[in-house]
Amino acid sequence: MSTPQVVNVTLPALPQGWSADKDFKAVGTLSAGTQRTVEPVGPHFLAHARRKRHHRTFSEDERIQAQHTVKKTEQEEDDDISENEDPMMLSRDAKDWKSQDHYAVLGLSKHRWRATPDQIKRAHRKKVLRHHPDKKAAMGDRDENDSFFKCIQIAAELLQDPVRRRQFDSVDEACEVDPPSKKEVQKGNFFKLWRPVLQAESRFSRVQPVPELGDENSTQEHVENFYNFWYNFDSWRTFEYLDEDVPDDNENRDQKRHVEKKNANARRKRKTEDITRLRHMVDDLAGMDERIKNFRKAARAGKDKKRLEKEAEAKRLAEEKERARVEEEERKKAAEEAAKADREKNKKAKEAAKNASKKNKRVLKASVKDTNYFAESGAPSAAEVDSVLTDVDLIISKIDAEELAGLAERLTAAGKDVAAVKNVYAEESKRLVGAGKLKEGETKTF
């Protein structure tokens, strides 16, 4: 634990001669008090009336209301998993556990495959508390056997195992809904009669969610997707629950293999029959579906219209193709003429630039010639002339046409002044050295 640190701070002293009576100044005043009557409304008014009627304090009322809420919740949970027990079910033999309705034994008939693990657990606990043999004996009911209690234990054990529960759900006949007949559909609502059948079958689908049946306003795409799904239905339904018990006698292995092979064949047969049954059911559903008939009727009615539209479209496309061909030929011709004009224009521009460049080069060479190749006195020697012209050619090779024109313009302005012309060349050489186009001392004259 850290030790607190004490910091001594001295408050500043008041000015000498300061007095609260004469130096204190108030910056505001409090408003006058107002008495108001406040009344509770909504749920607060009901709570207020309840406390006043029963003479309760706030804490007492909150505690009693919490108890009522808990009791009500428990009653709702009990009602959710409570069912009246059939006397015949109470007298069942536990040995015949495969033929019993495990959901009904636990009081979950209305939930069945929709029952959650928590509901199964609570239902099992409730049944055990009611039918445990020790509790029956304590109540004086010693004549009742514990066969139904064993049924409860078997049902709880099976339904709490996901694999075994799925096996039982696969053959749970209480969840099956028979499809309606044609007469029933003619008298009743097609969608209302078939929807429970599809909901019962959809629990076996590996692909979730399952497409809805829709209604009379469903689009053709929706209907086609719906039937494509059901005609390619991927079912997880298995039939292991109906297998014959395999003998647990290690000495008779042949009999054990025979029973296992028999069960496997029986499962394959039941699976094939179930797929065939589902296919026939979907065939009957499609045969009664007026939407499919209307789609086919509309397709036949629009067949000629589509043919005429197709011919008209083909004619239009041919005309557009011909028009596009003519436009393309005209575009190519115009492009060729424009390209030809551009080539001639560029040719003239190049010739003009070339002539200007030649003229500017002549100006550069004439500038050194007019200044006697920068000879100080008398006629320059051949070596001096060659050195100056070499430097001029080197500068010309390092600059572009625009820079050449600018240099020629400056030399023209310098005229025949030796110092001015040489200064122009020196500045240009210095610029090229700064730009990295020439090396320092590469020009001998400038």
Whether 430 shows a pLDDT value over 70: the answer reads yes
Cα-based distances in Å from 328 to 156, 241, 324:
82, 76, 6
Distance, C-alpha 74 to centroid of its chain: 40
365 Cβ contact list (under 8 Å, min separation 6): 389, 392
Question: Are 201 and 213 members of one domain?
Answer: yes
Residue range 280-296: mean pLDDT, rounded: 93
pLDDT classification of 131: cutoffs 50, 70, 90: confident
Instruction: Give the CATH number of the domain where residue 425 resides.
Output: 1.10.8.840
Question: Are 188 and 205 members of one domain?
Answer: yes
The predicted pLDDT at position 1 comes to 46
pLDDT classification of 166: cutoffs 50, 70, 90: very high
Question: Are 168 and 255 members of one domain?
Answer: no
Q: Is residue 341 situated within a structural domain?
A: no
The predicted pLDDT at position 251 comes to 61
Helices 253-288 & 190-202 angle (0-180, nearest 10): 160
Q: How far apart are CA 253 and CA 249, in angstroms?
A: 7
pLDDT in tens, 241-266: 998 887 776 667 888 888 889 999 99
Residue range 153-167: mean pLDDT, rounded: 94
What is the domain extent for residue 130? 80-173
The predicted pLDDT at position 62 comes to 87
The predicted pLDDT at position 250 comes to 61
pLDDT in tens, 56-96: 998 888 888 877 775 665 555 555 566 777 777 777 788 88
Instruction: Give the CATH number of the domain where residue 122 resides.
Output: 1.10.287.110
pLDDT classification of 170: cutoffs 50, 70, 90: very high
Residue range 115-140: mean pLDDT, rounded: 82
Helices 147-159 & 162-170 angle (0-180, nearest 10): 100
Domain termination site, one of 250, 268, 288: 288
Give pTM, 2 decimals: 0.51
The predicted pLDDT at position 305 comes to 80
Question: Are 279 and 185 members of one domain?
Answer: yes
pLDDT in tens, 188-244: 899 999 999 999 999 999 999 999 999 999 999 999 999 999 999 999 998 999 988
The predicted pLDDT at position 247 comes to 73
The predicted pLDDT at position 137 comes to 66
Residue range 334-354: mean pLDDT, rounded: 87
Question: Are 71 and 97 members of one domain?
Answer: no
Q: Is residue 101 situated within a structural domain?
A: yes
Question: Are 166 and 220 members of one domain?
Answer: no
Domain termination site, one of 288, 305, 325: 288
Question: Are 240 and 277 members of one domain?
Answer: yes
Closest CA to 178 of 269, 291, 267, 277: 277
Q: In percent, how much of the chain has pLDDT > 90?
A: 35
Q: Is residue 115 situated within a structural domain?
A: yes
Determine the number of helices (DSSP H) and then strands (DSSP E) in the chain: 18, 0
Residue range 18-42: mean pLDDT, rounded: 79
pLDDT classification of 2: cutoffs 50, 70, 90: low
Q: How far apart are CA 279 and CA 235, in angstroms?
A: 12
Question: Are 235 and 198 members of one domain?
Answer: yes
DSSP letter (8 states) at residue 143: S
pLDDT in tens, 371-428: 877 777 778 888 887 888 888 888 888 888 888 788 788 888 888 887 888 888 888 8
Question: Are 215 and 272 members of one domain?
Answer: yes
Question: Are 201 and 270 members of one domain?
Answer: yes
Distance, C-alpha 220 to centroid of its chain: 27
Distance, C-alpha 229 to centroid of its chain: 23
Whether 16 shows a pLDDT value over 70: the answer reads yes
Domain termination site, one of 288, 322, 348: 288
Whether 160 shows a pLDDT value over 90: the answer reads yes
* Domain count of the fold of the chain: 4
- For residue 235, the SS3 value is strand
How far separated are the first and last CA of the chain, in Å rounded?
Answer: 86
Q: Is residue 401 situated within a structural domain?
A: yes
Whether 141 shows a pLDDT value over 70: the answer reads no
Question: Are 184 and 279 members of one domain?
Answer: yes
Question: Are 117 and 150 members of one domain?
Answer: yes
